[in-house]
Amino acid sequence: MGAELSEDMTPELAELLTGNCYCLAVRRASRRMVRLYDAALAERGLTISQLAMLAWVKGLRTPTVQKIADYMEMDQSAASRGIRPLEREGLITSAPHPKDKRKSVLALTDEGATRLAEGAAAWAHAQRQVEAEMSPAGGLATLMTEINALAQTAEAED
């Protein structure tokens, strides 16, 4: 693990490379988690993002692209594009909002509801797998609270 770091690295760069960068650490963990969950969902033809979007479409009273982006804390454009494959595959439909023509109200198709249910089962399997392999110091619940806190770190400001 120690790796073959050259001697003329500043302490700062050594820190960055040895797992002490919050950003790189979380991103590395993210890549791993996504691979694990996506693999679990692959048989159902879904990614974890797509499963989440289907779930929000079902869970929100009047789901729109913007709302989904807000709840998932991602850019509206990313949500917009993420939804396209789901429409293409006929899992969700899009209809103009009756009152506000700017909005499109999304809805699950029957096929979408089926895939969502199947995906949720596969998702639960992945969840259990992570729980079985992880034994964090303060407990998984605490870890989740802290990761979520990381997700709320202020955007910049200075």
Partner DNA sequence: TCCCGTTAGATGCATATGCATCGGATCAGA
Partner DNA sequence: TCTGATCCGATGCATATGCATCTAACGGGA
Helix, strand or coil for residue 116? Answer: helix
**d(C-alpha 115, C-alpha 118), whole Å:** 5
Structure-token pair, residue 43:
């048989």
- Name which of 74 and 126 has its Cβ closer to DNA: 74
Asked if 107 is part of the footprint of a copy of itself (rule: CB under 8 A), the reply reads no
User: In the window 32-61, what residues touch a copy of itself (CB under 8 A)?
Assistant: 32-37, 39-40, 48, 51-52, 55-56, 58-61
Alpha-carbon separation of residue 9 from 4, 13, 25 (angstroms): 11, 6, 20
x/- map, 100-139, DNA, by CB under 7 A:
xxxxx-----------------------------------
Asked if 125 is part of the footprint of a copy of itself (rule: CB under 8 A), the reply reads yes
Kindly tell me the sign of the dihedral angle through the C-alpha atoms of 121, 127, 132, 133: positive
Neighbours of 29 (CB within 10 A): 11
Asked if 66 is part of the footprint of DNA (rule: CB under 7 A), the reply reads yes
Task: Point out which residues pair with 108 in neighbouring strands.
Answer: 92
In the list DNA, a copy of itself, none, the entry touching 59 (Cβ below 5 to 8 angstroms by class) is a copy of itself
Q: How many residues bind DNA (CB under 7 A)?
A: 31
**d(C-alpha 137, C-alpha 130), whole Å:** 15
- Name which of 31 and 139 has its Cβ closer to DNA: 31
Question: Which positions touch DNA (CB under 7 A)?
Answer: 27, 31, 34-35, 39, 47-50, 64-67, 74-78, 80-83, 85, 88, 94, 99-104
